Amino acid sequence: MTKLSNRRPSMVTLISQALHSLEPETGAVVPSIQPAATYARDENYEIRQPYWYRRDGSQTTAQAEAIIATLEEAEQSLLFSSGMSACTAVIESLPTGTHVVAPKVMYHGVLQQFQNYEANGRLSVTYYDAGDLESLVSAVESQETALVWVETPNNPNWEVTDISKAAEIAHKAGAKLLTDCTGTPPCMTRALELGADISFHSATKYLNGHSDVTAGVLSVNHVDKHWEDIENIRKLQGTVLHSFDAWLLIRGMRTLFLRVEKSSSNAMAVAAHFENHRHIELVMYPGLASHSGHEIAKRQTNGQFGGMLSIIVKGTEQTAIDVARYCQLFYPATSLGGVESLVEHRKTVSGDGFPVHPRLLRLSIGIEDADDLIDDLEQALAKAIDE
Ligand SMILES: *Cc1c(COP(=O)(O)O)cnc(C)c1O
């Protein structure tokens, strides 16, 4: 083994220690929170670099950004007050008339935003079938595309798109590739390395992991004019992540690797248990060998498959809602990626205009005991179907 003094500590060590952020004045092993909204000029009336007003960014937020940039091996990361404000900054940065391609089934907030920008005549959007590269090729070829939006695995069907191949398709057409890999955080998928130009994550989910912050992050490994425009939108819209939230996010990220490992093994146990269950029509989880994206996921998500899966319950739409209602350990709540397991009847949330199976329940598997989670679903299914 190489001595540590001769090599860089591994990613797990760097992130667990929040980049070893020892405070020189005090020796504190966790960073302090700096909440100032404004900063005084120096004796020459010059701005003290790098901060002068919090809408541009702050020290605590920059510390969180440095951790994510390390995870992503990015040149720069920018944190926003939510995933949606990060996505909206990218969409807003596109000149009027730009052609974008996006999946037909994706996170409903982003889809709504594309539909709004289309309705206002700001953008034209062609939608492709998520996980289907041929459909992506035809969508890109239909016009002069500037941005390809890939969500992998996509919400709530967990179809997997090969990021390297999507990057080839986008780049051949002269377009940029943006990936939303919120379901598989950067300890699993390093999108920039695979060819994405902009990597997006809702940090509300796995990166924070404790359901107590909303945040979004964009990362690039090549800072250009477009990136500066996006940063300027964040500044002018005032959507930078607040220092307190950045601090919670730093604390959450220190256990990222552990949490994701446990969520992944729990989700695998739940998926395997219910795959051929008499009350379940289909389990959608890339970790199952029967899943169409399994082989790509194996390569792309670092041998783990994450904590997100969906199940199609037998019976009626009401049966599915009942299962969600009858769970005692799973919280019947939206969101994902926290330490506690959540169950959600997705159609109730995304509404009628969104293509989602009426009997689909989305499960965000946390870090509890896997057998407890399985038992909870068993009793809810029995109550909803057998009784
Ligand atoms: C949650 C989520 C978003 C939006 O992020 P917020 O932090 O809720 O604003 C975008 N994409 C995916 C895949 C998500 O799960």
Atom 8 of ligand 1, nearest CA residue = 83
Res 2: pLDDT: 59
d(CA 326, ligand 1 centre) in Å: 26
Domain ranges of the chain: 11-253, 257-386
Nearest to residue 71, comparing CAs of 177, 165, 160, 193? 193
Nearest to residue 72, comparing CAs of 123, 125, 8, 15? 15
Res 40: pLDDT: 94
User: pTM of this prediction?
Assistant: 0.96
Class of domain 11-253: alpha beta
> What's the burial of 50, exposed, middle or buried (CB within 10 Å: 0-12/13-18/19+)?
exposed
pLDDT over 70 (residue 68): yes
Q: How far apart are CA 334 and CA 343, in angstroms?
A: 7
Q: Average of pLDDT values for 92-99?
A: 97
Residue-wise over 179-208: b if at least 16 C-beta within 10 A, else e? bbbbbbbbbbbbbbebbbbbbbbbbbbbbb
Res 3: pLDDT: 67
> What's the burial of 153, exposed, middle or buried (CB within 10 Å: 0-12/13-18/19+)?
buried
pLDDT over 90 (residue 181): yes
Token couple for 5: 């003094």
Element (H, E) at 251: helix 243-253
Q: How far apart are CA 242 and CA 191, in angstroms?
A: 26
pLDDT over 60 (residue 1): no
pLDDT over 90 (residue 63): yes
Res 192: pLDDT: 98
Q: Average of pLDDT values for 241-247?
A: 98
Looking at the chain, the whole-number percentage of residues with pLDDT higher than 90 is 92
d(CA 310, ligand 1 centre) in Å: 17
Q: How far apart are CA 40 and CA 46, in angstroms?
A: 9
Res 218: pLDDT: 98
pLDDT one-digit tens code per residue, 284-316: 999 999 999 999 999 999 999 999 999 999 999
Q: Annotated catalytic residue: which of 54, 127, 128, 180?
A: 180
Q: How confident is the model at residue 21 (pLDDT cuts 50, 70, 90)?
A: confident
Atom 11 of ligand 1, nearest CA residue = 107
Res 346: pLDDT: 94
Token couple for 71: 């995870």
DSSP states along 111-163? HHHHHHHHHTTSEEEEEE-TT-HHHHHHHHHTS-EEEEEEESSPTTT-----H
Q: What is the mean pLDDT of the chain?
A: 95
Q: Average of pLDDT values for 125-143?
A: 93
For residue 286, whether the previous peptide bond is cis, meaning omega lies within 30 degrees of 0, is no
d(CA 114, ligand 1 centre) in Å: 14
Active site residue 205: yes
Contact 275, 283 (CB under 8 A): yes
- More confident site: 21 or 377: 377
Class of domain 257-386: alpha beta
pLDDT one-digit tens code per residue, 99-109: 999 999 999 99
Element (H, E) at 313: strand 308-313
Q: Annotated catalytic residue: which of 39, 107, 127, 331?
A: 107
Sequence letter at residue 149: W
pLDDT one-digit tens code per residue, 342-382: 999 999 988 777 889 999 999 999 999 999 999 999 999 99
Q: Annotated catalytic residue: which of 205, 251, 347, 362?
A: 205
d(CA 76, ligand 1 centre) in Å: 20
Nearest to residue 382, comparing CAs of 277, 307, 310, 297? 277
Atom 2 of ligand 1, nearest CA residue = 202
